[in-house]
Amino acid sequence: MLRLLELGLTNAELAERLYLSVKTVDHHVSAILTKLDVAKRRDAVRRARDLGVLA
């Protein structure tokens, strides 16, 4: 999901691509932000790159 966040997709766009509900995507995005200890999606992408999770 981080790769899709990197593309700047909305939760609705993520849900469509992943065949999930928007509510489920919202939950997963929130979990990612929490685990990476950031408040914004773009910060999550930056943190993931810094940690080596995203190349």
Assess whether pLDDT exceeds 90 at residue 37. Answer: yes
What's the first-to-final CA gap in the chain, in angstroms?
A: 14
pLDDT-derived band at 52, boundaries 50, 70, 90 = very high
Could you give the domains of the chain?
2-51 (1.10.10.10)
pLDDT digits 0-9 by tens, 1-28: 999 999 999 999 999 999 999 999 999 9
25/15 Cα distance (integer angstroms): 6
Cβ burial, residue 48 (10 Å; 0-12/13-18/19+) = buried
pLDDT-derived band at 55, boundaries 50, 70, 90 = confident
Q: Which two tokens stand for residue 7?
A: 């593309």
